Structure 1
Amino acid sequence: MPTTADDNTTLYLTEQGARLSCRENRFAVTKGTETLCELPIESLRRVVICGNIQVTTQAMRALMQRGVDTAFLSTRGQLYGRLESPDGGSPELRRAQYRAAQDPAVRLAVSREIVRAKLHNQRVLLARRQGRSADIQRACAALAGLEERAAQCGSLDSLRGIEGSGAGHFFRGFAAALKFPMGFRKRQRRPPPDPVNATLSLGYTLLHKDLIAAIQIVGLDPAVGFFHDRRPGHPALASDLTEEFRAPIADSLALDLINHSELRESDFELLSGEGCRFKQEGLKRFLRAYAERLHSPITHPCTGERTTYLRCLGLAARSLAHVLTGQRPRYQPFLMH
């Protein structure tokens, strides 16, 4: 069966050979002569399509007309692309974004906040799970030192070196925090060689996709970032904002699912030349957990308001937009407590 978030606003399609169509103001998911589910058109906000699933022209038109964020992924979790309606964003905001992206001082200031937040959130996530682990304690100490260096860093190249060093320390601590490592030794992504890396990769892909949508809703251009270099076809700004949310959303979810045995080695398969990927039931379980994580209520660490992780993605994009238009002096990232 297709997987939906608890509020039915997000539809995850994983049933290979299924078909998404639109009829009488309802989306229908069918396979052969069987109807797997039906949803009112107005209820959907996001659709994630994994693998060999057909989408009719009528359904694509309805998705675009209603601005439903629709992403196409491989069965390994690789993002193929997204279905978009013509947007263009705010001309004034985008002009401010393009000017800022050409200003070395602005790029460095925004990037410092992004990297500092990433290191901080990685440290907080590990500290919550350290117990008596000397490896996690060492990783936390190293990340704290790098966080201080990032706040004072004077160049993008140096900042990227700090961020890369932090990733090494974090994943050594992450490995120590796993109750069931399932072959995980270090972060590897193309292709992921083990279940833990496969879980992380899919979590990062979904997070990145959701941040592209949040950025576009605010009116910014996802392709023009500050920390990540621009290259054709790469949404650099989405990659920028993904950094601070990796630990609170994707990394913590992976740890929780694996350590509580909600994902097991039997939920994955190793394919020659393709690495490790989810089996059907494991994929459904992960997608359901990811949707629940996005919609779970939290207290925003900066504003103190009750919100959700999904809304925090939009708040991050809006915070950056306020900086670019001069309404706020500096970018305020998401910092875990």
Structure 2
Amino acid sequence: MRSRQVIDVLDYQGQITAARGGLVIRDQRVPLEDVAVLLVGNHASISGGALSMLAKYDVTLLNCDWRGVPNFVGNPWGSNSRIATRHRAQADLSLPRQKSSWQALVRAKILGQAFNLEQVGSSAATRLRLLASKVRSGDPDNLEGQAARLYWTEFFEDEQFRRVPGAEDHCNAMLNYGYAVLRGFVIRGICEAGLSPTLGLWHRNRSNPFCLADDLIEPFRPAVDATVHRLLPLDGLEDRSVKHELVNVTNLPMQGTGETVLTGIYTLAQDLALFVEGEKVRLSVPDWQTPFASEDG
């Protein structure tokens, strides 16, 4: 898979227009051949031609609010030749197969969290690995929730910390930002695989058009967590370098194999497509295993 870059123009105030093979931003031509995502803020205007160019090169548009947190994602209509077949297969996926895939996702997430705890020297990592081994089909015992409570208490070594989605304190704000960017890539991977992001495996919400993305993002969250842990001494999202590092999470190695978080996302989406069509017996899910020291290099 070729390198996929992120173009970050959150601070740009002006018009974004189309150019041959790319866009014009700040009076400069930006080629789109190797671009995966365009990040824009509240003060940029995008022409219809620019949107068409993004669609032509299969680039995802992430619009961000005044805090720089993504609040809108625009994906080109996919050209996957099996899209109709895969949507029908998703809708018809049996409950036991939905549950077994959720089991695999939860197990991989907990293993990634356990790895992070090992990196900070927490003995609770052993307990998380034990929980991961006990996850049953559909996770009826909510071991995901049990693992999360232990993980967040131990990981930042702060008994007062509480993981609250949407909260604006220093640590939660960085997690929210990192997860939001990551979710955009997951949605893109789902669409490229010819799947419907609305039809989830475990998540169910009639007002959520991205239930499947909220399923598939789970094993990749520990990569964001590890990056936030490393960045905590900095000034949060006010520091532009922090946003850059959080966007760059997708380029981190997922495991010792050299596969990045981004390729892991795309591979998982493609594997799920084969799984729902019955071409794979079980879903293969990667888990985060990259030592913190490797993130700088």
TM-score, normalization by structure 2? 0.86
Among 40, 47, 51, which residue is 1:56 paired with? 47
Deviation at 1:16, TM superposition (A): 5.0
Equivalent position of 1:144 in the other structure: 129
- How far apart, in 1, do the equivalents of 2:144 and 2:74 lie? 32
Whichever residue aligns with residue 16 of structure 2, its letter is L
Among 290, 311, 329, which residue is 2:246 paired with? 290
- How far apart, in 2, do the equivalents of 1:211 and 1:61 lie? 22
Equivalent position of 1:201 in the other structure: 176
Q: Residues 244 and 25 (structure 1 numbering): CA distance in 2 closer, same or farther, change over 3 Å? A: closer
Among 148, 162, 165, which residue is 2:143 paired with? 162
Q: Residues 80 and 291 (structure 1 numbering): CA distance in 2 closer, same or farther, change over 3 Å? A: closer
Among 19, 27, 50, which residue is 1:23 paired with? 19
- How far apart, in 2, do the equivalents of 1:299 and 1:145 lie? 22
Q: Deviations over 1:287-307 (max 9, x none)?
A: 3223433224x3756xx4x33
Among 82, 86, 96, which residue is 2:73 paired with? 82
5 Å-filtered alignment, 1:87-106, equals 87=78, 89=80, 90-100=83-93, 103-106=94-97
Give yes or no for the alignment of 1:318 onto 2:270. yes
- How far apart, in 1, do the equivalents of 2:230 and 2:77 lie? 39
Deviation at 1:155, TM superposition (A): 4.8
3-state secondary structure, aligned to 2:259: strand
Query: Which has the higher Rg, Structure 1 or Structure 2?
Result: 1
Deviation at 1:140, TM superposition (A): 2.0
What CA RMSD, in Å, does the superposition of the two structures yield over aligned residues?
2.4
Task: Could you tell me which runs of 5 or more consecutive residues in structure 2 were left unpaired when the two chains were aligned.
Answer: 290-297
Among 225, 229, 242, which residue is 1:251 paired with? 225
Whichever residue aligns with residue 53 of structure 1, its letter is A
- How far apart, in 1, do the equivalents of 2:60 and 2:172 lie? 26
Give yes or no for the alignment of 1:215 onto 2:190. yes
- How far apart, in 2, do the equivalents of 1:293 and 1:78 lie? 15
Among 30, 48, 69, which residue is 1:39 paired with? 30
CA contact (8 A) 1:67 1:85 kept: yes
CA contact (8 A) 2:10 2:64 kept: no
Q: Deviations over 1:33-86 (max 9, x none)?
A: xx4x53124343321113332212221121123221111121334433222333
Whichever residue aligns with residue 189 of structure 2, its letter is A
3-state secondary structure, aligned to 1:45: strand
Deviation at 1:322, TM superposition (A): 1.9
- How far apart, in 1, do the equivalents of 2:40 and 2:226 lie? 24
| Aligned-residue identity in percent | 20
Deviation at 1:200, TM superposition (A): 0.5
Equivalent position of 1:190 in the other structure: 166
Deviation at 1:12, TM superposition (A): 1.0
Deviation at 1:240, TM superposition (A): 0.6
CA contact (8 A) 2:189 2:269 kept: yes
Deviation at 1:88, TM superposition (A): 7.3
Give yes or no for the alignment of 1:328 onto 2:284. no
3-state secondary structure, aligned to 2:17: strand
CA contact (8 A) 1:294 1:308 kept: yes
Number of paired residues? 285
Task: Could you tell me which runs of 5 or more consecutive residues in structure 1 were left unpaired when the two chains were aligned.
Answer: 1-6, 131-135, 268-277
- How far apart, in 1, do the equivalents of 2:104 and 2:20 lie? 48
Q: Deviations over 1:126-180 (max 9, x none)?
A: 11111xxxxx32x324322321221xx2555x24x2211211111111221xxxx
3-state secondary structure, aligned to 2:134: helix
CA contact (8 A) 1:29 1:38 kept: yes
- How far apart, in 2, do the equivalents of 1:40 and 1:246 lie? 30
Whichever residue aligns with residue 149 of structure 2, its letter is G
- How far apart, in 2, do the equivalents of 1:316 and 1:154 lie? 19
Q: Residues 66 and 191 (structure 1 numbering): CA distance in 2 closer, same or farther, change over 3 Å? A: same
Equivalent position of 2:215 in the other structure: 240
3-state secondary structure, aligned to 1:42: coil
- How far apart, in 1, do the equivalents of 2:247 and 2:278 lie? 34
3-state secondary structure, aligned to 1:22: strand
CA contact (8 A) 2:166 2:173 kept: no
3-state secondary structure, aligned to 2:156: helix
